[in-house]
Amino acid sequence: MKIILASQSPRRRELLERMGLSGFEIRPARGEERMDAGLTPAELVEALSRQKAAEIAETAGAEDVIIAADTVVAIDGLVLGKPHDRAEAAEMLSRLSNRVHQVFSGLTVRQGQRSVTVHECTQVRFRKLSRREIEGYLDTGEPMDKAGAYGIQGYGAMLVESIAGDFYNVMGLPVCRLGQLLREFGVELLRPAGGQAR
């Protein structure tokens, strides 16, 4: 049995390593993400994570465990993905300034024909940002590959006033939920050394 991460995100890879997983394979899903505007943010990230897992399952072994995730930021019902350019990133940050928004991650764990999909939602409050601060943050280059145009694990931590929920979800992988799901698939990470799984 192999564990396959269907993502090239260095943050997701780092979080799997922090969970004690080693020797997992990174096999990013390459297919085009089909985003249905009629879905809620929770439904959208679940659908996208299922798509990624299904794509990787086509070439994976029947015993391989696939982990797929997708993350978006939402505010006022509007989904904010990764910005296409600096102007869009600036607009996103201005919209989030001095407001509470939600970070949704969809998570799918799949083995053969068995697949379980869940989502996690974390509430994040930004402090009030000046135009100068937004421009300074954009100059770091960090916003351009992040949903909602910020990364809480980097310079973006200085923008976040508070969070309610799973911190790691904001990084793109709800670690607590993933640990629970992996256990359902026979991958138990917290067990006594030399002990038997229960």
Residues noted as catalytic: 70
Is beta strand 65-75 parallel, antiparallel or unpaired with respect to 78-80?
A: antiparallel
Alpha-carbon Rg for the chain, nearest whole angstrom, is 17
Residues 6+ apart with CB under 8 A from 159: 93, 96, 126, 127, 129, 133, 137, 150
CA atoms within 13 A of residue 48's CA, in its CB half-sphere: 24
Helix (H) or strand (E) holding 55: helix 41-57
CA dihedral 104→48→23→177, nearest 10 degrees, is: 40
What is the three-class DSSP state of 27? Answer: coil
